[in-house]
Structure 1
């Protein structure tokens, strides 16, 4: 007997039970109206399933392959959602290894920078929303910008503002004090950061110095990784 035939027989049995039972008498723990609704719904579901199965069985091999592919995709989506945090962390670490200087944000909120091949820590940071590169330098008392970076940010000190003496790899020079509205490394953001602007040609790279680092709750170097922790 087909699935549709079995569904009709079951529906007939349920209807017969309902006809010969008292109106207020429960059947297998269900009220008569509940049992009737369940029987009708089950019969309709059986007819629908039988129709789909008839179509599915017509090209069974191809349909099974398609069902298997969709099942694998569904499992991949579920696994991706369940382990999304781990996948994000792994992806960030791969990016940090491929592009040294990129900030890798840990689950504890710390930011990790991978050392470059030349041995320095090159940190990508955002100043007032603009991305610029910095050399990590604990020997610098402040964040120091090259004249070119400052100009790109719209910061152009006058000649009289260059009054702070600083020591660089090229010798002693003077710099102009400024405040950066925001300085972001990964998820770490500091506001109104004191900084210095060097004279044109006096400095090759921006320096991520202590006026930013002192605001952090901590920072450390572990092998080829620089770890920053926000305040």
Structure 2
């Protein structure tokens, strides 16, 4: 044997060279792995008989067979113990199973993610499979709803007692309205008395899957802590339901 080969196989601190895998050990590993592969193929054929295979699937089986052959030869030639090899194979199999499960349940997981997001951020809402939007009641016992109004985010307070969609002066200014130039010609009765509003039109309001265009609204003349989403919006929906601290609106 070439002394240089021993030197190349020596450890990093000049220790004794690692022993080469013996042929008998290689053959034993190969036989065991081939037996496991044969059992796996037998179980596969029992679950999916060749009669059920789709036409043209031969190249795929040839590809997988080649990959499996290379993997078996690599494992048989490995110097690691069977326990280490099977432990790593189990981890890879578990990772593959998780990936397949996530892909198979991707729609259900999306619903779960949206529901969690809706609980963490109640104003964002959850989009149901039928296009409905679901909102959770806030700690102040009100429903607050984030909407895209003419491309900008506006946080509304749902108010079934309000006849109109009412913007406060700050939100109206952010949407590009010159509040000082508006004509406050409408009168509204509120719990605090009568207030005036200026009629405007919004190009669009989008709340999740709900999309309304050319929506009439008004700008409140006085102080208004939060813009109101009133009946002018709700009457254009298919239905509205409040149950168990959850608001469901359908387009």
Which TM bucket (shorter chain)?
Answer: 0.7 to 0.9
Q: CA deviation at 1:131?
A: 1.5
Instruction: Tell me whether 113-122 or 62-71 shows the greater mean CA deviation.
Output: 62-71
Query: Does the CA contact (< 8 Å) of 1:148 and 1:200 recur in 2?
Result: no
Equivalent position to 1:213, from 234, 238, 242:
234
Aligned length: 193
Where does residue 207 of structure 2 map in the other structure? 185
Superimposed CA distance per residue, residues 193-224 of structure 1 (whole angstroms, 9 cap, x where no aligned partner): 111111252x1111111121111111111120
Paired with 1:45 and 1:91, the residues of 2 have a C-alpha distance of 36
Where does residue 112 of structure 2 map in the other structure? 90
1:224 aligns with 2:245: yes
Give structure 2 stretches of 5+ with no counterpart: 1-23, 32-62
Q: Secondary structure at the match of 1:78?
A: helix
Query: Does the CA contact (< 8 Å) of 2:75 and 2:85 recur in 1?
Result: no
Q: CA deviation at 1:61?
A: 3.0
State the Cα RMSD in Å.
2.7
Equivalent position to 1:55, from 60, 64, 77:
77
Paired with 2:241 and 2:68, the residues of 1 have a C-alpha distance of 66
Moved over 6 A (4+): 44-47
Equivalent position to 2:154, from 125, 132, 145:
132
1:110 aligns with 2:132: yes
Superimposed CA distance per residue, residues 90-138 of structure 1 (whole angstroms, 9 cap, x where no aligned partner): 1211222222222101111111010011111111111112112111111
Query: Does the CA contact (< 8 Å) of 2:196 and 2:222 recur in 1?
Result: no
Q: Secondary structure at the match of 1:226?
A: strand
Give structure 1 stretches of 5+ with no counterpart: 7-40
1:166 aligns with 2:183: no
Q: CA deviation at 1:143?
A: 0.7
